[in-house]
A and B are shown apart, each in its own frame.
Chain A
Amino acid sequence: MKPKFLILFSLLILLILNILFSISIGPVRIPFDSVTSTIFYYFMGDPYNRIYMLIIFYIRMPRVFLAVLIGAVLAISGLITQTIFRNPLGDPYLTGIASGAALGASIGFLISPFVVEPLAFAFAMLAVFITFIISRVDGEFSPEIMILAGIAVSFLFSALASYLIYLKEVNLRGVLFWLLGGLYGANWNDVFYLTIASLILFPLILYFVPEFDLMLMGDEQAKSMGVDTKRVKLITLLSSSIVTSFAVSMVGIIGFIGLVSPHIGRKIIGESHRFLLPASILIGANLLLASDTIARSNPGGEIPVGIITSFVGAPLLIYLLIRRRFFDRGN
């Protein structure tokens, strides 16, 4: 047991260092001692460099904390999808969230830029509900049907979004930039609302952690061991979908974090959800934060973060897959 706590503790330390590092770097070079002195003077009420203060407190900090939160949200949703569907390809967008949000955003740009976020959220949730309704078979949610229903709903919503874009009635630039995704406009309000949503919904998920290990053995097996599989699926999938939809409506569709974080977690800490869940959260937060810091610090202008998440995440997963194989042979 002890090494697993040690791993979690190391991931937490890594995240804290990552946050400090990310706050002190960016396209504008601020020396590390100026970062610390600006923060210190700001809280002490002493005179400080106003530009540095704005950059640190109003641009970098909200963006850093939003990256941490969204990385955590995507990782937890990815893990739940993989566990409940018993499918290693599970990612947070499996229930149609991405296409739903894209359709909502397209309709939003048709009306006004200010309704883009609420509509993206509403349509992401609509896609989730349709997927849930289709996959209800004999009062139970069938994972196989839910995967297919999610794909069908995704294609339907994407087609509708594409049709709107095709009609050219929509502000094309807006939709395309939105679809690329990114944490550009992060502010303290975003951080605040996403924190509230996570505080409400994460406990609902954490409550079922013991059941997750049993669910991995299959629905029948889990039921025979006293798990109310329907209730677990409904509550955890729904809570993770709500908070993911919320995150997506803020920053667009950021790929790969939700898929890769739980896998990295499994490789370094094992299948037991008691450790895997916090590990995945910490890995997702670290990965998205590191990726976004690279994306925004490029001196030639920002790079869409999705490109970086794949560049950072994919080699990491490949390395772990290969290392595991050598390790197994050694045994």
Chain B
Amino acid sequence: MKWSNVLAIIIVALVFLSIGYYAGQLNNHTIQAPQKIVVTDDLGRNVTIYLPIKRVVSMDPSNTQMMYAIGAGNLLVADTSYDWWPAQAKSLPKVEMDNGTASVEEVVSYNPNLVLATTIQSTQIIDQLESLGIPVLVLEPNNISGIYRDMYLLGNITGHKTGAINEVNYMKSYIGNITSKIANLPRLRVLYMLWPDPIYTAGNNTFINNIITTAGGINVAANLTGPWPIINNETVLQDNPQVILVDNDTGISNISYFKNNPVWENISAVQNNRVYIFNQTESNWMNEPGPLTIYAVRMVAQFLYPQVFNET
């Protein structure tokens, strides 16, 4: 009887010990499991991300550029056929896009643990990817400080915090150098033309408006509603822009488009030959919020104040 009591105690003790051991194992295991963090993207969505981030698919050139700029470009496993900067981005595998929208299967086949997208992607695709357990960050800054915020965010989650800080500081000093040169100069009225007929332009709460304002311009369309409003040509006549910026996609190749038109030929920018038609690269700078935005600011400032920038 005594022996069996001892045996029973030993068995109970072993059972407890083993439970304790396994519990300890379980505990160790949870520590080793991927770390979960919740971040907020540019749509205000709370996105749960699993660290460390190893494989990233970028569905927009601006997002690709931000990744490379902060030094996290090596995490990208695929990007889009629209990517052009930096050179490495062109040689990455591509996710096929139908009308700018990626195919979910294609994205999943790269086995990413983070997808970067803009609002060009339909919400169905974002929902579908998230239901498959792939977090999607929508990064679409609508001003320059938004770019800084997104770079810090990417830096934090990819472990390239210093890279992000360095890049943001570089951009800030680059832009600060431009704005200090034009600080005391008169502001000029600017019309940005995304499409000529109807005249689609950039409204107040857009990235392009922010570039124009930073470079010393006053966007004549800033009081219209919506991000990409149509501006009526009689409003343009009244606002009488001093500089017109023309997107490459308009297909307008030279100023004669404006010179031979009874309405346009009366506008200050046309009379003074201050119509600037972007080439493809310049249009990209203007339309892709990211590290290259500083070149867009410099370009617009040069168009607006050639006297300042030709001296130096």
Contact = CB atoms under 8 A, between A and B. Distances in A.
**A and B held together in a complex:** yes
Interface of A: 26-28, 50-51, 54-55, 58-60, 112-113, 165-166, 168, 171-174, 177, 182, 184-185, 187, 296, 300-303
B238 A51 contact: yes
Interface residues on B, range: 20 to 34
Contact of B237 (A54, A112, A174): A54
Contacts of B233: 59, 184
Contacts of A302: 198, 229-232
B205 to A, nearest CB: 13
B197 A184 contact: yes
Interface of B: 98-100, 194-195, 197-200, 203, 221, 224-226, 229-235, 237-238, 249, 251, 262-263, 266
A59 B99 contact: no
Contact of B230 (A50, A113, A184): A184
B208 to A, nearest CB: 15
A239 B129 CA distance: 53
Contacts of B224: 300-301
Nearest to A176: B195
Contacts of B249: 171, 173
Given A54-B263, A301-B225, A26 B251 contact: no
A165 B98 CA distance: 10
Contact of B232 (A26, A166, A171, A172): A26
B200 A60 contact: no
B251 A300 contact: no
Contacts of A50: 266
B251 A171 contact: yes
Contacts of B229: 300-302
A184 B198 contact: yes
Nearest to B262: A58
B99 A166 contact: yes
B237 A51 contact: yes
A113 B229 CA distance: 21
13 contacts: A28-B237, A54-B263, A55-B234, A171-B249, A171-B251, A172-B99, A173-B200, A174-B251, A182-B198, A184-B199, A301-B221, A302-B229, A302-B231
Which one of B98, B195, B235, B249 has the highest number of Cβ atoms from chain A below 10 Å of its Cβ? Answer: B235
Contact of A173 (B195, B231, B235): B195
A165 B99 contact: yes
Contacts of A185: 197-198
B232 A174 contact: no
